[in-house]
């Protein structure tokens, strides 16, 4: 922040900025209740700093109005008075809410000043165009109050992974890494090498979470997963996202490198640590981009299965010794119970058969668990003994893991199939549980979402996958799974894909295709007819969307993953007459245009569609009619006025729709009135749409609706009076709808209502008297401050009122 304080002699603008910044920085170091929110404000001040410097350099040329600068100064001084009050801790709920509101209003004012400065021409005074673009994009995001979901929140980018419950054998390697990266000024990069499944990522995470390391680098620790198909552009995007700034599209590699240099220069005023995890062979050019920054303030830790001669200091991670391997095996096979009736020599043999690979030991242990007959343990040792010794340790690891997969008994056959389906999604990407629900419901005739989540828990129990739940509250079991995600170790994903490739390609049950540019598999061009029920196609940014014919008459599920700005469904989709579910995911940063969507109208059995980061106006340009569609899910899509301007009504396009999910669609302001004509709709979920301010009054026409979830729609201030006509709704979820002040007067006429979740509806200060008529009401989830309202109307203990205290930390997501 140095250099700002001399701005505008006599005006005191720079001085006010510096004082405010120091107060804010000091508060963040303390354990205050608004800490996450204050970090957001600090990010905005970080954005304001270069704008102030621009004023210093060019205010005479631009002739900026003095009154605007005075207003900015007054705003900064107001913050100086307000922020220290946040240090108080023992506040009532009301006071916490009161000061959160004051912070919000002050923050709103700061946004307006940033907008004004941008409009006045600050954006054009820099000579480095790249820097200007960063500032413009940051101001745009602040102006639009762009909300990023938890799994894409700025703090989620480049976040250090959580450590497993038990970590063994890494104390000595940790000290070696600290010695090189913290104490040796001649070493700026260490390349940590070992086969897959040996604990490289765990060691890197442990290094980042070490106290000495955190004291050295503080908030300047960035953990980037690189993966096989790395792009420097994506890595730089992630680094800037961590700071809350979305950079503009890159023009060429030179601009990407310039942005990387600028990021390191800005953040490197203090020591900075960047971990490049899972770097693949052939990535020398990537390491070269980072290795050129050889100063004591820049440190890089690279993990890889491959050696990179000439780049950084090489460190080879050894396998676990026998004692540590045994500790890990006991922990995996006997959670919560250290006793075992299994002979020690048999345990020793199993651990040695696993080659002391941590991943193999964990999976093998989870596949056994304590309490099973000794014959099962002997069978495991016998199976592992059949694994040949290979020069390639990773191939050997795959064979060892496959023994655990094959050992799943007949009751677990379906779980094995679910495990193989995880390979349908790209490497190192979180898999939405909601997408897996759509796949498994159609492939395996699972009737409820609960069965699908149960399968995920079984995979997690056996360490074949990890179920990650990002929702803040603990009210699980309510059917809301939009914040459930699945992650998987790369080696396990490779195991899944290898298992799907067994047998002739035309007879495989699952076809998982990964296309690099336009290089297609040979069998595709041979026009063979395939029998696969699941087809997954992943393309990179070099794919031209020129689809040759693909004969897949038996396909029931189609998964498409891509990164391009424009994408087209394959023409041959019209021949997939058995198709029941289509999942289209754009892994780019912005919503993509999707063409050929009208082809789905020819599919008589299509029941489910899930679209992620898709521009909905692009799919409504042509008439569509999906007569069999039962469920549609839009996640992080750009909706705009798509449904209002499409060539046919929603009810005509989806005449038999039973479930509609709209999640994290940040530009949705008002739910289209045509939704009320979906007469067969049973479930309507509109969640995390933070600009949604109104529901159509005609929503009462949804006479078959059974669930209405309006979770985290923070600008929604009222509910339509026609809701009284929703006689079949049994669950109403308005949790985190912080702007709702009243419930409809006649809400008591919702005669089937059994459960209401109104947690964190803090502005709701009274209830309509008609709630006493909710004879079927069994459970109310609310805050402590509104519990008394319900108790007054329902004094008996027949009703279950679950009160949760308010935690204002979640407010930072909306700034």
Average pLDDT over residues 278-306: 84
Lowest mean pLDDT among 46-60, 672-686, 720-734: 46-60
pTM, 2 dp: 0.72
The answer to whether residues 733 and 621 belong to one domain is no
Q: Which residue has the tokens 């189609």?
A: 558
Is the C-alpha dihedral spanning 311, 315, 316, 320 positive or negative? Answer: negative
Q: What is the C-alpha R_g of the chain?
A: 28
Average pLDDT over residues 528-555: 89
The answer to whether residues 567 and 476 belong to one domain is no
Burial 98-108 (b: 16+ CB within 10 A, else e): ebbeebeebbe
CA dihedral 280, 493, 463, 556 (to 10 degrees): 160
Per cent of the chain over pLDDT 90 is: 33
Residue 162 falls inside a structural domain: no
From the number of C-beta atoms within 10 Å of its C-beta (0-12, 13-18, 19+), residue 666 rates as: buried
Residue 445 falls inside a structural domain: yes
The answer to whether residues 424 and 332 belong to one domain is no
The answer to whether residues 385 and 495 belong to one domain is no
What is the β-pairing status of strands 484-487 and 510-515?
Answer: unpaired
Rounded CA-CA distance 198/203 in Å is 9
The answer to whether residues 726 and 745 belong to one domain is yes
The CATH number of the domain holding residue 635 is 3.80.10
Predicted confidence (pLDDT) per residue in 126-176, tens digit: 333 333 343 344 334 433 333 334 334 444 567 888 888 889 999 999 999
The answer to whether residues 580 and 644 belong to one domain is yes
Rounded to 10 deg, the angle between the 374-385 and 344-353 helix axes is 30
The answer to whether residues 296 and 352 belong to one domain is no
pLDDT score of 93 more than 60:
no
The answer to whether residues 512 and 631 belong to one domain is yes
Where is the domain boundary, 407, 430, 445? 407
pLDDT band at 502 (very low <50, low <70, confident <90, very high): confident
CB 47 within 8 A of CB 21: no
The answer to whether residues 510 and 641 belong to one domain is yes
The CATH number of the domain holding residue 216 is 3.40.50.300
Instruction: Tell me which residue range forms the domain holding 443.
Output: 410-500
CB 724 within 8 A of CB 774: no
CB 161 within 8 A of CB 223: yes
Rounded CA-CA distance 450/15 in Å is 58
The answer to whether residues 477 and 465 belong to one domain is yes
The answer to whether residues 513 and 659 belong to one domain is yes
Residue 717 three-state SS: coil
Q: Quick one: which H or E segment has residue 793?
A: helix 784-793
Where is the domain boundary, 623, 644, 666? 666
Residue 814 three-state SS: helix
Residue 595 falls inside a structural domain: yes
Rounded CA-CA distance 1/786 in Å is 45
The CATH number of the domain holding residue 329 is 1.10.8
Residue 150 falls inside a structural domain: no
Rounded CA-CA distance 674/651 in Å is 7
How many domains, the chain?
A: 6
Residue 2 falls inside a structural domain: no
Residue 705 falls inside a structural domain: yes
Predicted confidence (pLDDT) per residue in 613-637, tens digit: 999 988 988 888 999 999 999 999 9
Rounded CA-CA distance 249/316 in Å is 38
Where is the domain boundary, 484, 500, 516? 500
Residue 6 falls inside a structural domain: no
Question: Apex CA 737: angle with CA 731 and CA 740, to 5°?
Answer: 100
Residue 312 falls inside a structural domain: yes
Which of the 8 DSSP states describes residue 516? B
The answer to whether residues 102 and 242 belong to one domain is no
The CATH number of the domain holding residue 684 is 3.80.10.10
pLDDT band at 353 (very low <50, low <70, confident <90, very high): confident
Residue 147, pLDDT score? 37
Predicted confidence (pLDDT) per residue in 666-718, tens digit: 889 989 889 999 999 999 999 999 899 989 999 999 999 999 999 999 899 89
Average pLDDT over residues 492-515: 90
């Amino acid at each position: 922040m140095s250099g700002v304080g001399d701005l505008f002699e006599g005006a005191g603008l720079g001085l006010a900025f510096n004082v405010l910044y120091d107060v804010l920085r000091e508060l963040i170091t303390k354990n205050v209740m608004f800490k996450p929110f204050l970090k957001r404000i600090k990010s905005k001040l970080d954005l304001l700093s270069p704008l102030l410097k621009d004023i210093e350099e060019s205010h005479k040329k631009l002739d900026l109005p003095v009154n605007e600068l005075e207003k900015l100064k007054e705003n900064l001084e107001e913050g100086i008075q307000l922020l220290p009050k946040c240090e108080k801790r023992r506040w009532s709920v009301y006071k916490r809410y009161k000061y959160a509101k004051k912070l919000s209003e002050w923050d709103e004012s700061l946004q307006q000043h940033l907008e004004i400065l941008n409009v006045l021409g600050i954006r054009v005074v820099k000579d480095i165009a790249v820097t200007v673009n960063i500032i413009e994009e940051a101001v745009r995001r602040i102006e639009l109050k762009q909300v990023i979901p938890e799994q894409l929140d700025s703090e989620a980018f480049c976040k250090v992974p959580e450590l497993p419950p038990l970590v063994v054998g890494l104390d000595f390697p940790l000290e070696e890494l600290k010695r090189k990266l913290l104490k040796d000024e001649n070493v700026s990069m260490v390349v940590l090498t070992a086969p897959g499944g040996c604990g490289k990522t765990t060691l890197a995470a442990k290094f980042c979470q070490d106290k000495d390391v955190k004291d050295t680098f503080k908030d300047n620790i960035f953990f980037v997963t690189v993966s096989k198909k790395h792009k420097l552009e994506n890595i730089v995007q992630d680094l800037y996202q961590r700071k809350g700034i979305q950079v503009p599209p890159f023009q060429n590699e030179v601009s990407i490198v310039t942005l990387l240099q600028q990021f390191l220069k800005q953040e490197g005023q203090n020591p900075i640590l960047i971990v490049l995890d899972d770097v693949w062979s052939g990535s020398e050019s990537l390491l070269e981009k980072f290795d050129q920054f050889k100063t004591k303030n820049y440190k890089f830790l690279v993990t890889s299965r491959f050696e990179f001669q000439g780049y950084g200091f090489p460190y080879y991670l050894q396998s676990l010794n026998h004692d540590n391997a045994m500790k890990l095996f006991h922990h995996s096979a006997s959670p919560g119970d250290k006793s075992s009736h299994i002979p020690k020599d048999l345990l020793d043999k199993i651990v040695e058969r696993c080659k002391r690979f941590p991943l193999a030991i964990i999976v093998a242990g989870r596949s056994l668990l304590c309490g099973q007959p000794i014959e099962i343990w002997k069978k495991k040792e016998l199976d592992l003994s059949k694994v040949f010794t290979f020069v390639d340790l990773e191939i050997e690891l795959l064979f060892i893991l496959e023994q655990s997969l094959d050992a799943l008994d007949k009751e677990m056959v379906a779980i094995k199939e679910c495990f193989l389906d995880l390979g349908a999604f790209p490497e190192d990407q979180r898999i939405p549980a909601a997408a897996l629900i759509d796949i498994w419901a159609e492939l395996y005739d699972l009737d409820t979402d609960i069965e699908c989540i149960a399968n995920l828990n079984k995979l997690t129990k056996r360490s074949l996958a990890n179920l990650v739940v990002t929702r803040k509250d603990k009210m699980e079991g309510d059917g809301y799974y939009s914040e459930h995600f699945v992650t998987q170790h790369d080696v396990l994903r490779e195991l899944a894909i290898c298992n799907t490739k067994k047998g002739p390609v035309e007879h495989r049950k699952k076809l998982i295709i990964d296309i690099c540019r336009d290089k297609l598999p040979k069998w595709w061009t041979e026009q063979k007819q395939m029998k696969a029920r699941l087809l997954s196609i992943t393309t990179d940014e070099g794919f031209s969307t020129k689809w040759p014919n693909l004969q897949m008459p038996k396909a029931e599920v189609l998964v498409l993953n891509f990164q391009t700005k424009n994408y087209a469904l394959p023409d041959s989709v019209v021949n997939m007459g058995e198709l029941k579910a289509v999942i289209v995911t754009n892994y780019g940063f912005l919503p993509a245009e999707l063409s050929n969507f009208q082809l789905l109208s020819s599919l008589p059995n299509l029941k489910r569609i899930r679209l992620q980061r898709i521009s909905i106006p692009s799919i409504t340009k042509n008439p569509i009619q999906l007569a069999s569609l039962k469920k549609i899910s839009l996640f992080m899509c750009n909706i705009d006025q798509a449904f209002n301007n499409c060539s046919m009504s929603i009810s005509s396009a989806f005449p038999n729709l039973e479930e509609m999910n709209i999640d994290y669609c940040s530009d949705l302001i008002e739910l289209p009135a045509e939704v009320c004509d979906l007469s067969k709709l049973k479930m309507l979920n509109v969640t995390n749409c933070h600009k949604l301010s109104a529901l159509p009054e005609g929503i009462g026409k949804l006479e078959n609706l059974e669930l209405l979830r309006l979770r985290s729609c923070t600008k929604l201030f009222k509910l339509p009076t026609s809701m009284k006509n929703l006689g079949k709704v049994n669950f109403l979820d308005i949790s985190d709808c912080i702007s709702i002040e009243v419930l409809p007067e006649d809400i008591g006429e919702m005669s089937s209502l059994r459960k209401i979740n109104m947690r964190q509806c803090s502005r709701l200060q009274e209830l309509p008297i008609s709630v006493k008529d909710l004879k079927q009401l069994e459970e109310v989830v609310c805050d402590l401050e509104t519990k008394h309202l319900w108790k007054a109307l329902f004094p008996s203990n027949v009703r279950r009122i679950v009160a949760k205290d308010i935690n204002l930390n979640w407010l930072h997501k909306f700034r």
